[in-house]
Copies of this chain bind each other. A is one copy, B any other.
């Protein structure tokens, strides 16, 4: 997916060679950041993994930050497609659980994603912003559509925006807590999924009777 085809290098025209070099750098950055984090992703290290000279880097990217900021949005789109493909046509609550599970499946598919996502806020703020805009607007539409279908509790648009943050926060924190391990990324335990399902379907607290109308 983010893998540069290692096919024949010969017989490429100028444009193709150019794109191929850029892709090599991009893939190298994904690997390096995914494995060692943004802080350790020096231009020297990235270009070494990409097997190009340091100077070559600057023929393709304005500076180090530009590349780092492109990392998350690109993989983020992969994630959206991955999740969409795994979401069925059951009722809305079930679909949300499917999306939730698919998120963790994606993390295992692309182990670099977790680190790239989590660190981006501080090391690639522009990329983080872009990714979050992508995700949250998509998520918001999903919720609005569910509401239109009468499948949700009563939430205003503004409240939905907040809910989107909560749901993304849940994924972010849970993945940090449950997906990291010594070597590689592990599957998320079932009780995490069930806890999430209960929360989004019934809430957390029983409400005393007289308050149920609020």
Interface positions of A (Cβ within 8 A of B): 37, 39, 91-93, 96, 118-119, 121-123, 146, 150-156, 158-160, 162-163, 165-166, 168-174, 176-178, 189, 191-192, 194-196, 198-208, 211
Q: Would you give the shortest CB distance from A77 to chain B, in whole angstroms? A: 20
Assembled-state Cα–Cα distance A123/B122 (Å)? 10
Q: Which residues of B contact A158 (CB under 8 A)?
A: 189, 191, 195
CB pair B174–A173 under 8 Å, yes or no, is: no
Work out how many copies of this chain go into the complex.
Answer: 4
Residue of B nearest to A188 (CB): B162
Q: Which residues of B contact A119 (CB under 8 A)?
A: 122
- Interface majority SS on A: helix, strand, loop or mixed? helix
A205-B166 contact in complex given A39-B122, A154-B198, C-beta closer than 8 Å? no
CB pair A173–B177 under 8 Å, yes or no, is: no
CB pair B160–A166 under 8 Å, yes or no, is: no
Q: Would you give the shortest CB distance from A148 to chain B, in whole angstroms? A: 13
3 nearest A-B residue pairs (beta carbon):
A169-B173, A169-B169, A159-B195
Residue of B nearest to A173 (CB): B169
